[in-house]
Amino acid sequence: MKRLIIAATLALSVGTAHADGMVTYETQDSFEDVVFGLENAILDLGLVVDHVSHTGEMLERTKADVGGTVTLFTQADVYSFCSAALSRKVMEADPMNVRFCPYDIFVAQQPGKPVVIGYRTFPEGAMQEVQAMLDGIARTAIGLD
For 71, half-sphere exposure in the C-beta direction (CA atoms, 13 angstrom radius) is 10
User: How do residues 77-106 score in pLDDT, each as one tens digit?
Assistant: 999 999 999 999 999 999 999 999 999 999
**Structural domain count of the chain:** 1
3-state helix, strand, coil in the chain (%, to 5): 45, 25, 30
Which among 111, 122, 101, 48 is positioned nearest to 76, based on CA atoms? 111
User: How do residues 99-141 score in pLDDT, each as one tens digit?
Assistant: 999 999 999 999 999 999 999 999 999 999 999 999 999 999 9
- DSSP letter, residue 101: P
**Domain span holding position 134:** 2-141
Q: What is the CATH number of the domain that holds 7?
A: 3.30.310.70
Contact 116, 108 (CB under 8 A): yes
For 5, half-sphere exposure in the C-beta direction (CA atoms, 13 angstrom radius) is 3
